[in-house]
Amino acid sequence: MAVHHIDTPFDLVGLRRSLDSHTCRFDVVALAECASTNVQLLEMAEAGAPSGTVLVAERQTAGRGRRGRIWHSSTGDSLTFSLFWRFPEDSRAPSALSLVVGLAIAQALENLGAGGIALKWPNDLLHENRKLAGILIELLPGAPRAAVIGIGINLSVPATLPEALSEHVIGLDSLLGVMSAREAILGALLAELANTFDIYSDQGFAALRGAWQRRHYFTGRTVRLLFDHAPDVYGICAGVDEDGALLLDIEGICQRFIGGEISLRPA
C-alpha cells in the first residue's frame, strides 16, 4: 500500500495495521480538503490511477449526494472517502453494486461493535430509520465495470446541525461503546469491501442477496418510491431480485424497480 499525505494528520501506520493482509490491494491518498472525493477520484481514474486507489478527505467543499443532492459533512464529524474499483472484464455489469457496498459497510461496522445497522434500498445505511451512511457510485464514462464508490459515514452528529435535520441522522459514536480511530474504521471498511467484491465478482449478487435481505429495514412494509420524472408508486416491499432490483408487491402483482434515480420512503 502506498499512502500519500497531503497536509493531513492521517495515521498511515494505524491504517496499515487495520488493513492487515489487504494492504497491498489499496493505494491511499489522504487530503486535508477537496471539493468532492468522487469528482477528484473520477479524474484520477481517467488519468490512469489503478483499481484500489482510495481518496480520503478531511473536508469536502462540494460533497455530492444521490439524485443531484449536496452531501453535507463537517471536519471531524464524518469519514468521507472514495474507492476506485475495476471489476473483471468478463463479469456482468455490476448492477447490484450499491447494495453490495452497503452490505460490506454494514458488516464491517458491525464487526467493530456497532449493532442494529439496517440497509435501505438501494444504498443507505440506517439505524432505527436514522441515516448513518450514504453511498454514491459513479461509473467511469465508457467503462461499465470501472466504478468510483463514494462513501460518507456520520461519525457523530454535528452540534450545529438544526434539530429538524439532526433527528434524521445518527453518528457511529452513539452505536459504539468506545469510538474507534477513523483509520481503524477506514481499514475495516476497505478490507470488508475487498472481501465482498471478491465474492460478488466470483459468484454474483445471488451469493449476497440473502444477507442483504435480512438487513433490509423495509422488508414486508408498505413503501413509497419517488422518481425524478414519474408519479410516486406504493407497494409492499418483497425483497430484491438477483440483479439488485427492488421487488414490490403492488395489489398482488410483483413488480421490479431498478435504477439510481429512485428513492424509497416509508408510505
CA distance to 41, 100, 113, 122, 150, per residue, from 265 (Å): 30, 20, 28, 11, 22
CA 210 from chain centre, in angstroms, equals 19
The closest of 189, 177, 118 to 153, measured between CA atoms, is: 189
Give the contact letters, 106-145, x = binds to ligand BTN (CB under 6 A), - = no: ------------------x---------xxx---------
In angstroms, give the least distance from the CB of 241 to ligand BTN: 22
**260 lines the binding site for ligand BTN (CB under 6 A):** no
**63 lines the binding site for ligand BTN (CB under 6 A):** yes
Collapsed DSSP state (helix, strand, coil) of residue 180: coil
Count other C-beta atoms under 10 Å from residue 38's C-beta.
Answer: 26
Give the contact letters, 180-219, x = binds to ligand BTN (CB under 6 A), - = no: ----------------------------------------
Sequence-distant (≥ 6) Cβ neighbours of residue 185 within 8 angstroms: 79, 109, 112, 153, 155, 172
Q: Of the ranges 13-21, 32-40, 193-201, 248-256, which one interacts with ligand BTN (CB under 6 A)?
A: 32-40
Residues tagged active-site: 66, 131, 265
> What is the spatial distance between Cα 102 and Cα 119, in angstroms, rounded to a whole number?
7
In angstroms, give the least distance from the CB of 36 to ligand BTN: 3
**60 lines the binding site for ligand BTN (CB under 6 A):** yes
Alpha helix ranges (H) inside 84-181: 97-111, 163-166
Single out the residue of 69, 214, 224, 265 in contact with ligand BTN (rule: CB under 6 A). 69
Single out the residue of 37, 98, 107, 263 in contact with ligand BTN (rule: CB under 6 A). 37
Q: Of the ranges 16-24, 57-65, 94-102, 159-167, which one interacts with ligand BTN (CB under 6 A)?
A: 57-65
The DSSP secondary-structure symbol of 66 reads G
Q: Which three cell numbers stand for residue 236?
A: 409492499
| Contact residues: ligand BTN, CB under 6 A | 36-38, 60, 63-66, 69, 71, 80-82, 124, 134-136, 150-152
